[in-house]
Amino acid sequence: MTCAARPKRLVEDRPLALPLADPQAYADMMKRISAYFRPESIGEAFALLDGPGAVLIGGGTKLNGRLSSEPMSVVDLQLAGLGGIERFDTGTLRIGATTTLQQLVDCEDVPAIVREAARRELPSTLRAQSTLGGTIVSADRESELLVALLVHDAEVFVARPEGTEKMGLEVLLAHLPLASHEIVTAVAIDTGGSASVARTARTSADKPIVVAAARVGADGRRRLALAGVASTPVLAEETDELDPPGDFRGSGEYRRALAGVLVSRAIEGVS
Ligand SMILES: Cc1cc2nc3c(=O)[nH]c(=O)nc-3n(C[C@H](O)[C@H](O)[C@H](O)COP(=O)(O)OP(=O)(O)OC[C@H]3O[C@@H](n4cnc5c(N)ncnc54)[C@H](O)[C@@H]3O)c2cc1C
Give the confidence band of 237 by pLDDT, cuts at 50, 70, 90.
Answer: confident
Nearest atom (ligand 1) to Cα of 97: 41
Domain ranges for the chain, please list them: 20-79, 85-190, 194-270
For atom 45 of ligand 1, the residue with the nearest CA is 134
Cα separation, 1 vs 88, in Å, equals 9
Cα separation, 141 vs 249, in Å, equals 13
Cα separation, 46 vs 186, in Å, equals 16
Nearest atom (ligand 1) to Cα of 17: 53
Q: Which residues, in sequence order, are CB contacts of 199 under 8 Å at separation 6+? A: 144, 208, 210, 211, 212, 262
What's 85-190's CATH class?
alpha beta
CA of 126 to the centre of ligand 1 (A): 10
pTM attached to this predicted model: 0.90
Instruction: Look at residue 64 and tell me whether its pLDDT is greater than 90.
Output: no
Instruction: Look at residue 139 and tell me whether its pLDDT is greater than 80.
Output: yes
Pocket test for ligand 1, best of 122, 127, 169, 175 (most atoms within 8 A of CB): 122
What are 197-233's pLDDT values in tens digits?
999 999 988 999 999 999 999 999 999 999 999 999 9
pLDDT on residue 16: 45
CA of 217 to the centre of ligand 1 (A): 30
Pocket of ligand 1 (CB under 6 A): 17, 56-63, 77, 97, 122, 126, 129-131, 133-135, 137-138, 140, 178, 183-184, 207
Range 20-79 has CATH code 3.30.43.10? yes
For atom 9 of ligand 1, the residue with the nearest CA is 140
For atom 17 of ligand 1, the residue with the nearest CA is 61
- 3-class DSSP string for the chain: CCECCCCCCCHHHCCCCCCCCCHHHHHHHHHHEEEEECCCCHHHHHHHHCCCCEEEECCCCCHHHCCCCCCEEEEEHHHCCCCCEEECCCCEEEEECCCEHHHHHHCCCCCHHHHHHHHHHCCHHHHCCCEHHHHHHHCCCCCHHHHHHHHCCCEEEEEECCEEEEEEHHHHHHHCCCCCCCEEEEEEEECCCEEEEEEEECCCCCCEEEEEEEEECCCCCEEEEEECCCCCCEECCCHHHCCCCCECCECHHHHHHHHHHHHHHHHHHHC
Looking at the DSSP bridge assignments, the partners of residue 188 are 94, 155
Instruction: Look at residue 1 and tell me whether its pLDDT is greater than 80.
Output: no
- Give phi and psi for 192, each to the nearest 5: -75, 170
Architecture of domain 194-270: 2-Layer Sandwich (3.30)
Instruction: Look at residue 121 and tell me whether its pLDDT is greater than 50.
Output: yes
What are 22-56's pLDDT values in tens digits?
667 667 777 788 899 999 999 999 999 999 999 99
Cα separation, 270 vs 194, in Å, equals 6
Which of the pair, 238 or 112, is modelled with greater confidence? 112
Pocket test for ligand 1, best of 126, 164, 180, 209 (most atoms within 8 A of CB): 126
Cα separation, 25 vs 96, in Å, equals 32
Other C-beta atoms lying within 10 Å of the C-beta of residue 254: 15
